[in-house]
């Protein structure tokens, strides 16, 4: 069995106790894709890893990679950013957890720098938004989850009507099909829309990577119903996970509204 040292950028997706002294980490790496690693001695008081091996931390990992094995050994980890501030807010923490859970469930077993970068950008944007107290709006932070879904190849396509190919008109609702990710205009779905004009406008905004709108204090424009986008995202993710699996973090997110 060949054993080699690999240095790679890595993000900690999940960590849990393996023994009295060691932890197992789920990592997303830039050079290897998703992988599992044993951090021996990580729980000892004077561990060389310190307290940095927590979810959302990003840094440089040095791994003993064992050919043909699913579990590797972490030799060292040099953090670049820990993102501990994400735990200060319930919404920032749960959305960040949803990003990591989604990558753990659906990341291809190969190198994918686009996915690694999308995950890192999302976590960093959430960290900044939490520090600036910008996650108060309905649907706040969900643009990053939709972005990762799109990189994985499952994002909705709302550019034109999926039935007639025509452009959507401003101020009209649509019918979104969760399976295909395509939307139909009111004419093609015989008026049986499931997204209001406000919800469709907001979803289009989120899919373009823009943050959720802040509710108008004077009520000059309609707002999507509270929790609508969280429920939609959770339902969409269930539809595209194997055998209808649920993302626990997304399901919990729907209860925060």
* Together in a domain, 14 and 117: no
Distance CA 129, CA 126 (A): 5
* Together in a domain, 66 and 89: no
* Together in a domain, 22 and 139: no
Per-residue pLDDT, 1 = 42
Per-residue pLDDT, 111 = 94
Is the pTM here over 0.85, yes or no? yes
Q: Answer positive or negative: Cα dihedral of 72, 33, 10, 57.
A: negative
φ/ψ region of 215 (left if φ > 0, alpha if ψ in -120 to 50, else beta) reads beta
Per-residue pLDDT, 214 = 73
Helices of type H across 181-223: 197-207
Which helix (H) or strand (E) segment holds residue 14: the answer is: strand 3-17
Per-residue pLDDT, 223 = 56
Q: Six-digit token pair at 42?
A: 């990580």
* Together in a domain, 76 and 139: no
Residue that finishes a domain, picked among 54, 82, 110: 82
Smallest Cα–Cα separation from 241: which of 107, 86, 126, 139?
107
* Together in a domain, 97 and 151: yes
39-to-36, 49, 96, 110, 157 alpha-carbon distances in Å: 10, 8, 23, 22, 41
> At a CB cut-off of 8 Å and minimum separation 6, what does 11 contact?
27, 28, 29, 56, 57, 58, 100, 116, 119, 120, 123
Residue 33's domain is classified under what CATH number? 2.40.50.140
* Together in a domain, 11 and 121: no
* Together in a domain, 95 and 56: no
The string of pLDDT tens digits covering residues 191-206 is 999 999 999 999 999 9
Distance CA 164, CA 180 (A): 15
* Together in a domain, 46 and 90: no
Per-residue pLDDT, 4 = 85
* Together in a domain, 53 and 101: no
Residue that finishes a domain, picked among 61, 82, 103: 82
* Together in a domain, 98 and 64: no
Domain that holds residue 52: 3-82
Strand partners, 25: 15, 37
Mean pLDDT of the chain: 90
* Together in a domain, 76 and 30: yes
* Together in a domain, 68 and 182: no
The list of the chain residues with pLDDT below 50 reads 1, 218, 220-221
Q: Answer positive or negative: Cα dihedral of 203, 206, 210, 214.
A: positive
Residue 125's domain is classified under what CATH number? 1.20.1440.120
Residue that finishes a domain, picked among 23, 49, 82: 82
Rg of the chain over CA atoms, in angstroms? 20
Per-residue pLDDT, 226 = 67
Split into its structural domains, the chain has a count of: 2
């Amino acid at each position: 069995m060949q054993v080699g040292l690999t240095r790679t950028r890595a993000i900690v997706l999940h960590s849990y106790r393996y023994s009295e002294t060691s932890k197992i980490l789920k990592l997303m790496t830039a050079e290897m894709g998703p992988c599992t690693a044993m951090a021996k001695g990580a729980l000892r008081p004077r561990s060389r890893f310190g307290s940095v091996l927590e979810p959302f931390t990003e840094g440089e990992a040095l791994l003993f990679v064992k050919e043909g094995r699913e579990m590797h050994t972490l030799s060292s980890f040099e953090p670049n950013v820990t993102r501990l501030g994400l735990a200060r807010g319930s919404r920032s923490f749960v959305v960040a957890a949803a990003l990591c859970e989604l990558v753990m469930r659906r990341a291809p077993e190969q190198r994918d720098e686009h996915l690694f970068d999308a995950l890192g950008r999302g976590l960093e944007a959430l960290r900044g938004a939490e520090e600036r107290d910008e996650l108060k709006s309905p649907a706040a932070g969900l643009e990053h989850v939709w972005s990762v879904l799109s990189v994985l190849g499952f994002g909705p396509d709302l550019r034109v009507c999926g039935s007639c190919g025509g452009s959507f008109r401003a101020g009209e609702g649509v019918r979104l099909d969760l399976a295909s990710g395509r939307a139909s205009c009111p004419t093609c779905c015989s008026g049986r829309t499931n997204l209001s004009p406000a919800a469709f406008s907001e979803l289009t905004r989120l899919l373009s990577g823009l943050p959720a709108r802040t509710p108008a204090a004077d009520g000059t424009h309609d707002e999507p119903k509270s929790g609508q986008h969280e429920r939609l995202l959770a339902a969409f993710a269930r539809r595209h996970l194997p055998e209808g699996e649920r993302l626990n973090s997304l399901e919990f997110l729907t209860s925060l509204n």
